[in-house]
Amino acid sequence: MKIKGTQSADGEFDETELYTQGFFYKKNDTYYITYKETESTGFEGCTSIIKVKPDKVSLVRQGNARTNMLVEQMQRNVGYYSTPMGELIVGITGKNIDINIGEDGGKIFFAYSLDINSQFISENTVTVEVITSDNIQI
């Protein structure tokens, strides 16, 4: 699997790319993608779970750092983001979601903005490409 994330704020741009293995499966109407984070993402020791429904994507991170974010197109949701200094309550406003995924894998793209107390923090994009060999291990 390949995961590419971008973040831009105040004229600065950052891009992270991760190639990893994980698990991919479908339960009811939801696809699940789970993988271990690495040092390169800054979340070593964490497990991330991406839940994909036809119209929304959520990211749950468990471990040393915790995150719970829901991205829905043109909707603002509130989630949390754990840091070494404590937890932050963040607003996640979905900009664009493009889901092209099936039982053999596929591609997910979502764009969103983050705010804290309605104060803009960053614009973000995430692209996940899933390639399966047996529909379970990725």
pLDDT digits (tens, 9 = 90+) for 5-21: 999 999 999 998 888 88
Predicted TM-score (pTM) of the model is: 0.86
In the numeric block, which tokens belong to residue 9? 């704020």
Model confidence pLDDT, tens digit, residues 51-63 = 999 899 999 998 8
**Measured torsion, CA atoms of residues 78, 105, 1, 62, in degrees rounded to the nearest 10:** 30
The values of phi and psi at residue 39, to 5°, are -60, -35
pLDDT tens for the chain, residues 1 to 138: 999 999 999 999 999 888 888 999 999 999 999 998 877 666 777 899 999 998 999 999 988 778 899 999 999 999 988 877 788 899 999 999 999 999 889 999 999 999 998 899 999 999 999 987 654 444
**Full set of structural domains in the chain with CATH:** 2-131 (2.40.128.20)
